[in-house]
Structure 1
Amino acid sequence: MPLGSLRPTPLVEQAIAQLREQITGGHWPVGSKIPGETTLAKTLGVGRSTVREALRALSEAGLLRARQGSGVFVLATEPEEDWPTRLRRAEITDVYEVRMLVEVQAARLAAERRTPDDVTALRAAMRARRAAVPGADAAFVDADIDLHAVVVDAAHNPVLGSLFAEFRPVLRAGLIDMVELTGLREEDRGCGEAGHEELVEAVVHGDADAAGRALQAELAGTQARLRAL
């Protein structure tokens, strides 16, 4: 599809769309140098500032790369997916494997670093999870994830906290489906309460090895249920 003059509004979005079509359609192959700003502005019927903004957006999407003194080159034909998008597209069992790697270590750190405030928060989160067991599936899952989030927060590592926050929407959706499809709460009335109590007590008492083992066992059990769906 050849480039053509743009409609009045919105110019930048239209420029991005037309330039993207040239890239994804193979008109500008990967590795090729695209026309300069002046040429593109004239072809599209817009100012150079509009073209510059469109090129910046396509560069941020991973499609283009500017080389100092050489011009702008096509880097890829498909935009890069950001981390939240990749998580949403991933299989829940794959997400769980990564969750186990991240969260087991977080539990160990939490046992070593917990503060009195963390202990209070852990006890409160455990009570909330216990109270949610007879309720709706979504409320129970939220209370369960809240407890795990408190454990991660007690590790006092902002990177771990950010990672868990990214996992949370995907975990929530997958766990709600699991609870509904497996009849977990009919099979296990406590919904893993003993294991979570063990985790909380290990963190509270500063036993990193016990905290890691308790969480590893709990997450492995849930992962097995997810794989069985």
Structure 2
Amino acid sequence: MAIVFISVWTLIATTVLASISIKLEPSLIEFGKSGLDISCVVNDTNLIGTTHIYLKRSESYVVSVTIFKIAWQDKALENKTGVTVNGSINNTMTSYLRLEISKTVVRYREDMGSYQCILSAVTASHEIKRYQSQSIVLNITGFLESTTKRLSTSNHKSTEVSAQNGYQENSTESFINTDKPLQKKRLVLYRTIMIPITTIISGMLAFIVARELRLHYFVSKATTTAKNHRKKYTNGVYIV
């Protein structure tokens, strides 16, 4: 982390090449803690007119200004809260393009790269020429630390909410346990099938036991009756 803060707020890269210069402040920012300020400024006093100023990032154009309007090429930044752009080419001596991105909307991968200003202007000989500033590389650090911190905070809150419900559950934003819904479905299916089956089996067993008891009762009664009928009483002696 010490490397992150070394000259973060004091590092200003400014280069002048021919007719246009670029200023990027700072060229090393910490993700979520530093904003971005990029300016393109026309320097050549021999120009008699300016037609376009472009801001380019690596191989893609970000935004441009003409005599009529400011046009966005990076549509993801257009109308985004925390992003402002100003520019004018009405006066060649004061032509400029400035882009500011607040720390809350700086994008880790998208905003990194090599920035360059491109000028299309009319010379004193009435020729339209194209000028380029030197490139300045923007580096963004601290993304992994910031992401880990957010995940850790989310885990802590999730654990607290689960504990209030009488149990503790570990969860993260990057992992979703898909086994629990599947287990729940299996449990519901098991209950749906097994409860009727066990009820039927229990009823059948109860019926069989009752039938056996009833049959045993009638058999015993019939046996006793038969014996009584075979007995004869003669002269005070039972004869079987």
Scaled by the length of structure 1, the TM-score of the pair is: 0.22
- Report which of the two has the higher share of strand: 2
Which protein has the larger Cα radius of gyration, Structure 1 or Structure 2? 2
Scaled by the length of structure 2, the TM-score of the pair is: 0.22
